[in-house]
Amino acid sequence: MANQKKRVLITGAAGFLGSHLCDRFLAEGFTVLGMDNFITGHKDNLHHLEGNPNFEFIEHDITKFVGIEGSLDYILHFASPASPIDYVKIPIQTLKVGSLGTHNLLGLAKAKDARILIASTSEVYGDPLVHPQPEDYFGNVNTIGPRGVYDEAKRFQESMVMAYHRFHGLETRIARIFNTYGPRMRLNDGRVVPAFIGQSLRGENLTIFGDGQQTRSFCYVDDLVEGVVRLLFSNYAEPVNLGNPDELSIIDFAHEILELAKSESKLDFMKLTENDPLQRQPDISLAKQLLNWTPKISRKEGIKHTFSYFAALPKEQLLRNEHKDFTTRNNEK
Ligand code: UDP
């Protein structure tokens, strides 16, 4: 059929980035097959797609064999826990989805003759000794630290993708994603953007790990999605950084949130988590040159959208604090 729609498989479809990618590819006229096992993703993120004739969903754990009927043109692999709290709670699943899961999807891509793009991460740079981080920096990762399960799975993932590209001639793309935020993040996943917004909405103090001088560079989800789309349709197989270079310290970010929320809350200083990178800022020269891509949405604007999203959540969801529940359960054991 000359006019048949292209079909894309999106793993982690019920997650934050995965669900936004589903929306974007549906808007572009694709047939989208979403896959998730709901370990960290949530059905609510796909609720609005129920009944959409161009959207199918399969509940499946991709660390097990992935069998798909029919043709596939593209695979976007975005399934993974992505928060330091998750790495501690579900370390083995984190390792498996980046390694075994990626292997299954590479096999699927080969069988279907599909192009595959994988979500890699700035965590491949670890606690970086080069600043900002360009793609040719090899990184500084502690293999056995608490974050090692994520960082090393993603590093292995990149190696395996390049092996399939070089050995099997598979069409592959690697996006190294820096801190991204926006609506549909999990309110209590422990990451700094939802953590600070949630705390300010509940009238709690904001928890700063360490002295708050560590930096991050936050990219709004719509900019990231645009970068992913451009990378997928480029012809470049090596890793490309996608992120917003607008860097700031965590303490400055906390003050921005308090101002936006018109909150009187104070800052609670807590222990810095092990191997927490002290600085992080993407060098996006390659993405600019290759994809003509640069983030367009300022932090002020993006955080406003995100704040409104969290503020509109049902109250019981806002008051639930999975992180505290988890700590309490652990202490009871
Ligand atoms: N952070 C913080 N308070 C929180 C959560 C996070 O100070 O309640 C800090 C954390 O130590 C890190 C930064 O915010 O330096 C970003 O943390 P996040 O978990 O969002 O992502 P990471 O970039 O570390 O993977």
Phi, psi of 56 (to 5 degrees): -120, 155
Instruction: State mean pLDDT over 266-287.
Output: 96
Q: Cα(210) to centroid of ligand 1, in Å?
A: 10
pLDDT of residue 242: 99
* Beta carbon of 322 within 6 Å of any ligand 1 atom: no
Atom 10 of ligand 1: nearest residue by CA position: 209
Inside any domain, residue 84: yes
Query: When comparing pLDDT for 325 and 127, which is higher?
Result: 127
Predicted local distance difference test score (pLDDT) of residue 306? 98
Task: For residue 191, tell me if it sits in a domain.
Answer: yes
Note whether residue 235 is domain-resident. yes
Residue 2 lies in a domain: no
> To test the ligand 1 pocket, which listed residue (147, 191, 252) has its Cβ within 8 A of the most ligand atoms?
191
Q: Whose CA is nearest to atom 8 of ligand 1?
A: 207
Residues 6+ positions from 282 with CB-CB distance below 8 Å: 122, 132, 133, 176, 178, 217, 241, 242, 243, 244, 245
Q: Percent helix, strand and coil across the chain, each rounded to 5?
A: 45, 15, 40
Between 69 and 315, residue with greater pLDDT: 69
Count: domains in the chain: 1
Confidence of residue 316 (pLDDT cuts 50, 70, 90): confident
| 150 band by pLDDT with thresholds 50, 70 and 90 | very high
Nearest residue (by CA) to ligand 1, atom 13, is: 192
Q: Please state, for a pLDDT cut of 70, what percent of the chain lies above it.
A: 95
| Average pLDDT of the chain, as a whole number | 94
pLDDT confidence of residue 318: 83
Please indicate, yes or no, if residue 149 is contained in any of the structural domains. Answer: yes
User: Domain containing 113 — which CATH number?
Assistant: 3.40.50.720
Q: Is the CB of 206 under 6 A from ligand 1?
A: no
Give 183-194 pLDDT, tens digit per residue. Answer: 999 998 999 999
How far is it, in rounded angstroms, from Cα 51 to Cα 323?
A: 34
Residue 278: pLDDT band (50, 70, 90) is very high
In a domain, 306, yes or no: yes
Q: What is each CA distance from 2 to 5, 28, 251, 258, in whole angstroms?
A: 9, 17, 55, 55
Q: Identify the CA nearest to 178 among candidates 42, 287, 316, 314.
A: 287
d(CA 330, CA 293): 44
- In this structure, what is the dihedral angle of CA atoms 166, 171, 175, 181, given to the nearest 10 degrees? -150
pLDDT at 328 over 70: no
**Neighbouring C-beta atoms of residue 303, cutoff 10 Å:** 22
pLDDT in tens, 28-45: 999 999 999 999 999 999
Quote the ligand 1 centre to 49 CA distance (angstroms). 31
Q: What number is the average pLDDT over the span 118-142?
A: 98
Pairing of strands 247-249, 215-217: antiparallel
Q: Decide if 1 is inside a domain.
A: no
Pairing of strands 7-11, 172-177: unpaired
Which residue range forms the structural domain that includes residue 242? 7-329
Has residue 83 been placed in a domain?
yes
